[in-house]
Amino acid sequence: MMRKLVIVLLSSIFSISLCYGDISLPNPQTKDGMGLFESLKKRASTPGGGFPVGNLSDDELSTVLWAASGLNRGKTGWTVPMANGKAPYVRLYVAGEKGTFLYEWDGQYLREINNKDIRADIAMQNFTKRAAYSLIFVFDQNSLKDTPVDQANDFAQIAVGAMSQNIYLSAAALKLSARYIHSIKPDVISQALQLPENSKPIGIMLLGK
């Protein structure tokens, strides 16, 4: 009896560890696939009311996140420009059905923040809950604390622009749907993500299939 109980407990713990916790992402796709100019031709915002509800594969999610702010050369070269060669100061959070995670470009994995589905709560539009993932752009102001405030905010907006465009292009190449959302609920996001002080939510990118 005791042995059966131990087995059940261990099985439960193992199941929980599979559902929640940090997630190692597969290597992103970095070759083959659709060409750049074809992706530019197909780049578009998917209408909110008709946003698809299908799920993405881990390979697709990994590739899109890498395109947004992953390493593409050495240890300090990213897929988007960052001021003064700094590490990405706009962090990308991933909200989905199984919880919310922080994309860690160093190691290509998702670090768990919580196991709550917050997709329906973080923007003004009610169709955000349809997307498989909401990618949340958050400016870490402490990363640019030595930069004048106005200039730092400009740098953050430029970074979000570059990151979102890369998401659009990679989504087009992978035949995924994407839509940038600027009308967000910063206070709700900050609380849900347990953001540290001097963190500023800027926008959301919906991702679906």
Output the domain CATH number for residue 109.
3.40.109.10
pLDDT of residue 85: 86
In a domain, 166, yes or no: yes
Which pair of tokens denotes residue 45? Answer: 């915002």
Across residues 55-84, what is the average pLDDT? 94
Whether the per-residue pLDDT at 4 is higher than 70: the answer is: no
Across residues 79-108, what is the average pLDDT? 95
Q: In terms of residue numbers, what domain contains 83? A: 22-208
In a domain, 121, yes or no: yes
Q: What is the mean pLDDT of the chain?
A: 90
Give me the percent of the chain exceeding a pLDDT of 90.
Answer: 75
Across residues 120-136, what is the average pLDDT? 93
Q: Give the model's confidence band at 32: pLDDT under 50 very low, under 70 low, under 90 confident, else very high.
A: confident
In a domain, 11, yes or no: no
Count of domains in the chain?
Answer: 1
Whether the per-residue pLDDT at 45 is higher than 70: the answer is: yes
Beta strands in 87-168 (DSSP E): 90-96, 99-104, 109-114, 133-140
Q: What are phi and psi of 10, to 5 degrees?
A: -65, -40
In a domain, 1, yes or no: no
Which pair of tokens denotes residue 19? Answer: 């559902």
pLDDT of residue 2: 53
Q: Give the model's confidence band at 50: pLDDT under 50 very low, under 70 low, under 90 confident, else very high.
A: confident
Q: Give the model's confidence band at 18: pLDDT under 50 very low, under 70 low, under 90 confident, else very high.
A: very low
In a domain, 177, yes or no: yes
Strand partners, 94: 101, 135
In a domain, 8, yes or no: no
Amino acid identity, residue 166? N
pLDDT of residue 49: 83
CA distance 160 to 180: 10
Q: In the chain, which ranges are continuous DSSP H helix?
A: 2-19, 36-42, 58-69, 149-173, 186-192
In a domain, 176, yes or no: yes
pLDDT of residue 17: 40
In a domain, 5, yes or no: no
